[in-house]
Chain A
C-alpha cells in the first residue's frame, strides 16, 4: 500500500534547539497512525509543518508520491491535510455551517454566499458523521465535543485526505470519547488517513492501526500496533524501561487533618462530606463535570459554598478567600496551569514567594535575600531546571512551570495539598517523577488530595478513592474494592457491584 502522505528526513531548528533532526512519517488511507512521544519529542512541530504553519529546514514532503511543499496553511488545506486540535481553532461567534464552510462557502449570484445551499450541505455533512447539530447554531453555545464534530465536518467538506487529531479526547467526557471513537471508525471507512496524537495508551491500543515513535526530535521506530505491547512502546518513547510508573510508598496514615461536612453549592455540588488524614493520598475520581474541581476550588476559597463546614484538625475554619485557605494550610495546584498556575512575566523566585511574602518581608517591605533563599530551597527540592531564579517563568517548559507552582505551595508549609489532574498532558517520564514526589509528600505527613480522571493513576497512587457523580459523592472505595470496574460503575451511575 502506498502512503497518502510521506515525510522523509524532516529537519527543523529553532534558536538554540533542534526540534526535529531528520524524522520520517507515513500515513496510509483508511488507517489510524498513532504518533507517540514524550513532551518535547517533536510531535507538535511535525503537526505545524504538516499544516503549513512552520517550514521545515530540510527534508521532503510527498503527497501520493509527488513531492510538494506547504508554504502556507492554505496550501496544506488545498493538499487535503487538516487538523483537529486539542483546543479547536474555530470561530465562536459564527454558526456551525459558517465554520464548516469558512473560506470555501458555496457562492450564489454576484459572488455572495448562498446561505441555503451552505446550510443544506452542512446538514448533509453532519448527518454523514451522525452529528445531531443544527447548522445555524452558534458555535459558542456548543460543548467541546460538538466543536470537534464541527471540525471533523469541516475536514470532510474540504475533502481532506489526511486528518490530524491532536489529543482530541483530552477535554471530553466518557460518553463523548466513545462517540469520537465511532467517528474515527467512520472516517477510516471513508478512506481517510488519520494521524492520532495521544498520551493515553489504552486509547492508542484501541483505535490505532499503526504507530510511529519520536524521541527528542528523532525517529525511533514504526510498525503495526498488533506487533507491539505497552512496555515496548514505553521503552521506545523514553529510551529506557519505566518499571514503576506508580511508585506508591506505604505511608503512616495518622489523625484527621481535614474534615468536610455537608458541603454544598447552589449549582455545582451538594452535600459533599469526607475526612482526609495525615499521610494519606485521597483520590477523587469522576467524569468531567462531576463537580470535583468545583469542590476543591471552594475549599481553596475561589468559589463560595452555600452550606457546609470545614474543619482543619479540630478547628472550624471559614474559608471565603484564597488568602484564608492558605492561612488555614490548604493549597491547590490547579489543572489549568497556563491560566491559574504560574504568573508568567514574573521571575521564578517571585512566583515561589508570592504566597509567602508575609514571611520573607518585614513591615510590608520586601527582603530580596530572604526571597532568594526561600526560592532556592524549594526549587532545589523539586529539582527545577532553569538558567537562573531571576528567569521569567513563562520561558520554562510546562513540567518545570508545574514544579514552580508546587514549590510555591510547599514553601507555605501547608497541611493539605490538593493536586488537580497533576499529570494531565505531561509526558511519561515527568509523570513518574510527579507520582514519586506525591508519594514522598504523603510519607512526610502531608495530607494529599489528588483529583484525577485517569483510572490507572487513581488506583496506583491513592490510599482511598471517592467517586463523584453529578455534584454528589457517589461512592467511596478502599483496599480491594478499588477496581477499575467499581470506579467506572460509580462514576457513570450503574447500580450494583461488579462481579
Chain B
C-alpha cells in the first residue's frame, strides 16, 4: 500500500460483456422462451396468427409495466406488495371522477396521481420512518383496496367517456396495441434508468449493502423513496390501461397481480434478496409468462391449472442451475 511505487496494472475485465451475457441467467431464460414459442406453434395451429399473438400480449403488458419498477425496488432490497391494491384505488378514483363527468386527460391525471400518492405513502413509511417494506405494503395492500370496497361495495363504475377506451383497447399501428407499445417504451426507459444511470448504480449499491452505500455518500433514503414513488406511478399507469381495457371498475380489479408481478421479476433473474438482476431479464420473463398462459389457453387448459404450471415453471427455472451444479459434482 505504498503511494510512491507504482502498483501493478490490473486489467479492466477478464471476460468480455458479451461472453458474460451468453452465460447469464437471461440467456438461459431466452432459450426457455424460444422453446416455449416453438412448442406452442406445434401444439396449436392458431398460435402463429399475428392477431392472436397481439391479443395474448394483454396477458402480461399491464403486469410487466409494474414489474419494471418492482424489479428496481427489489434490487434495492425492498418490495411493494400493495401494487394491485393501488390499481384498485386508482381505478376507483377514476371511476368516481368519470361518473362526475371528468374527461379523459383528467381521468388519466387522477389515475397516475393516485398511484404517485400511494407510492409516496409507502415510501414515507419505509424510507422515512424506517419500517420494513414487506410489513408496510402488506398493510397498505389491505388499506388501499379496503377504501375501494368501502366506496363501491358490490357496485361497479361502468360509465367511462368514449376516448378513454384507447389506452386498453386501441392500436398504434397494425397489430401493435397501445399497451404493447407502452410496454416497449417503458422497458427501454427502465432499462436505461437501471443500467445506464447513476441512479441505477446507486440502486444496486443499496441492494448489496445499504450501510456501505450510505457510508459512500449515497442518499440511500431518498433513492428508496423515489423507487416507491416510481412503483406507485407504474401501478397508476397499469390502472389506467386495465380500467380502459375492462371498461369498468370493481373493487376486486387486478386481484392477485402483486404475486404475478413478483413472480415475473424473480423469474427474470432478479435476486429476491436484492443486489442483482436486470430489466431485460424481466422483459424476457414477461414474454415467457405470456407465452405459457396463451399457449395453454389455446389448448383449453383451465386457469387454475395454468397458475399451477406458472408456479412449477418458477420453481423449475430457479432450481435448474442449482440442480445442474449438484449433478455435475
Contacts and interface: CB of A to CB of B under 8 A. Distances in A.
Contacts of B197: 361, 364-366
Nearest to A443: B3
A343 B7 contact: no
B1 A430 contact: yes
Interface in B25-61: none
B215 A437 contact: no
A441 B3 contact: yes
Contacts of A403: 1
A380 B6 contact: yes
A373 to B, nearest CB: 9
A182 to B, nearest CB: 36
Interface in B178-217: 192, 196-202, 204-205, 207-209, 211-217
In terms of DSSP, what is the predominant structure of the interface of chain B?
A: loop
Given A345-B276, A376-B10, A382 B215 contact: no
B1 A343 contact: no
Given A354-B205, A365-B197, A366-B201, A437 B11 contact: no
Contact of A346 (B1, B3, B7, B204): B204
A337 to B, nearest CB: 9
A187 to B, nearest CB: 37
A433 B216 contact: no
Interface residues of B, number: 39
A176 interface: no
B198 A379 contact: no
B216 A408 contact: yes
B215 A440 contact: no
Interface string A337-381: 001111111101111001101100100111000001000100111
B215 A388 contact: no
B211 A340 contact: yes
Contacts of A339: 209, 211-212
B217 A383 contact: no
A156 to B, nearest CB: 37
A384 interface: yes
Contact of B3 (A350, A364, A389, A440): A440
A446 B303 CA distance: 67
A390 B276 CA distance: 15
A437 B2 contact: yes
A326 interface: yes
Contacts of B11: 387-389
B12 interface: yes
B211 A326 contact: no
B215 A381 contact: no
B13 interface: yes
A447 interface: no
7 contacts: A325-B217, A340-B215, A343-B213, A348-B10, A355-B217, A366-B198, A436-B1
